[in-house]
Amino acid sequence: MGSLINRRQFSLEWGHCDPAGIAFNGRFFEFFDWGTWALFEAALGVKPAGMAAAYGLPSQPLMPLVEVSAQFLAAVRFGDVMEMTSQVREFRRSSFDVEHRISVGTALAVTGLEKRVWVIRDAADPSVIKARPMAAEIIKRFEVQ
């Protein structure tokens, strides 16, 4: 049994680049965030704002980033069309790892790994967030037979 892989294609825009037209490395962390939310939307079949209602959660779930790493293997330049794949590598009690791979053509350009935590806002004080175990029903949506 495998894990769902979400694919997304997009072009590197001028605003993502340094003055030489090469992608600013910090932008890839933004792309990873896009990939994680798109992966959850694909797996769960609802937009992020609809997760609470769809899964009977007391508040909109959040997935704060607690650790991230990246390897930059090749330059990505203005106008390059990238394909990013994102998949959950491991689910734990309330945390999970998402792996991202960004390619330009057939060349792997960037890899990334995020550790995130599934949290819910506290009902008594919405400014407080608390880690919560992810429901088995949600995790199962990431499985591919």
Q: What is the pLDDT along the chain (145 residues), one digit of tens a residue?
A: 579 999 999 999 999 999 999 999 999 999 999 999 999 999 999 998 888 888 777 777 789 999 999 999 999 999 999 999 999 999 999 999 999 999 999 999 999 999 999 998 888 898 898 898 998 999 999 998 6
For residues 51 and 2, give the distance between their C-alpha atoms in angstroms, rounded to a whole number: 23
pLDDT given for residue 74 in this prediction: 97
* Burial bucket for residue 13 (CB in 10 Å: 0-12, 13-18, 19+): exposed
pLDDT given for residue 1 in this prediction: 56
Alpha helices in 1-83 (DSSP H): 27-44, 51-55
Q: What is the DSSP letter of 62?
A: B
Structure tokens at 33: 């965030």
pLDDT given for residue 7 in this prediction: 98
Q: How many residues can be counted in the chain?
A: 145
Which pTM does this prediction carry? Answer: 0.92
